[in-house]
């Protein structure tokens, strides 16, 4: 019997984005554009490609622009139509009525708490989570990260997280897995630890912003105390589910950019611009000139 389908995705977007101040004082980090699409658009496109229908945004004060982005801009569309302009560029921002839902996290108490804020909408179904500041880019002709994860989920069920390998000295900034048996891109997860000291890190495989979780995680989060950094951590709640339910990691076949950091954001912008047929050659020439 195949596992219950993944129809819902939670996008926690209530963080303060302090690393990008002053840019994020008024504009949410998730609306910062990589070339000409905001970060949140890349994440929603990846969800749609994976067959996900319902997009649940966990927002906070000043974040309503994210929900607006997926509404119809009536005056803009009317004026563009009158001027004979092509509206197809807005196509990815159109949502099926009723399929964009916003819930509020009043205080940013941590990623785990943000996910828990979506519990009533998630209900009793497995669901996906996307951290939009981690930009996952498919290989040319390949599929996106969540689609790869859903394919793996259809085989093994349970809980899945995407992982990638980083140099060992960087692990203390991330959630890290204790890996078990591996089969191709799929690795069994025996344990999870958030921001471990280097000496205690069980591997260099870090959790990278995409998850498929069973609804039981909401019950665990209900009682989850503060962890690393004084925040309610999703990693700690997931760690408690290991052994109770199947738990696997998927190594994404594609590129990942950490757009929560300034250098990662610049890297993503360059990589995406260079790969775009409409501007790649021009950007390459500019980059070569700048590099002397
Ligand atoms: P980050 O750790 O990147 O935090 O959160 P941040 O606030 O966005 O950015 P900095 O560190 O201050 O620069 C990872 C993801 O979890 C969400 C964020 O919006 C981001 O998508 N998040 C984090 C919440 O929704 N609520 C929280 O309480 C914490």
pLDDT of 227 reads 86
- Ligand 1 atom nearest 232 alpha carbon: 28
- Ligand 1 atom nearest 29 alpha carbon: 8
Verify whether ligand 1 is closer than 6 Å to residue 105 (CB atom).
Answer: yes
pTM attached to this predicted model: 0.96
195 three-state secondary structure: coil
Q: Which residue has the higher pLDDT, 292 or 6?
A: 6
Average pLDDT rounded to a whole number, residues 75-89: 96
110 CA distance to ligand 1 middle (Å) = 7
Q: Which residue has the higher pLDDT, 228 or 181?
A: 181
Q: Give, in order, the Cα–Cα distances in Å from 197 to each of 13, 98, 162, 201, 203.
A: 27, 44, 21, 6, 12
Are 35 and 276 in contact by the 8 Å Cβ rule? The answer is yes
- Ligand 1 atom nearest 16 alpha carbon: 7
pLDDT of 224 reads 87
pLDDT of 277 reads 95
Domains (range + CATH), the chain: 8-158+208-246 (3.90.550.10), 265-292 (no CATH)
Average pLDDT rounded to a whole number, residues 12-29: 95
- Is residue 228 very low, low, confident or very high in pLDDT (cuts 50, 70, 90)? confident
pLDDT digits (tens, 9 = 90+) for 36-76: 999 999 999 999 999 999 999 999 998 999 999 999 999 99
- Distance (Å, whole) CA 233 – CA 109: 9
């Amino acid at each position: 019997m195949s596992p219950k389908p993944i129809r819902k995705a939670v996008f926690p977007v209530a963080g303060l984005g302090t690393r990008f101040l002053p840019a994020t004082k008024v504009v949410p980090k998730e609306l910062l554009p990589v070339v000409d699409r905001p970060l949140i658009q890349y994440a929603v496109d990846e969800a749609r490609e994976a067959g996900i229908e319902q997009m649940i945004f966990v927002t906070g004060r000043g974040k309503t622009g994210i929900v607006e982005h997926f509404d119809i801009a009536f005056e803009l569309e009317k004026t563009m139509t009158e001027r004979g302009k092509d509206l197809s560029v807005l196509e990815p921002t159109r949502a099926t009525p009723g399929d964009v839902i916003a819930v509020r996290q009043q205080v940013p108490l941590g990623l785990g708490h943000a996910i828990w804020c979506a519990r009533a909408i998630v209900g009793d179904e497995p669901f996906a989570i996307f951290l939009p500041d981690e930009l996952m880019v498919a290989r040319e002709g390949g599929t996106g990260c969540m689609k790869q994860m859903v394919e793996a989920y259809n085989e093994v069920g349970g809980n899945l997280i995407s992982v990638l390998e980083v140099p060992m000295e960087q692990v203390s900034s991330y959630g890290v897995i204790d890996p078990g048996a591996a089969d191709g891109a799929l690795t069994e997860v025996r344990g999870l630890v958030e921001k471990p000291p280097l000496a205690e890190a069980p591997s260099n495989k870090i959790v990278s912003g995409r998850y498929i979780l069973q609804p039981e995680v909401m019950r665990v989060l209900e009682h989850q105390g503060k962890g690393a950094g004084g925040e309610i951590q999703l990693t700690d709640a997931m760690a408690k589910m290991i052994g109770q339910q199947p738990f696997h990691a998927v190594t994404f076949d594609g590129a990942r950019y950490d757009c929560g950091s300034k250098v990662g954001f610049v890297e993503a912008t360059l990589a995406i611009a260079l790969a775009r047929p409409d501007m790649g050659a021009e950007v390459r020439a500019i980059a070569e000139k700048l590099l002397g």
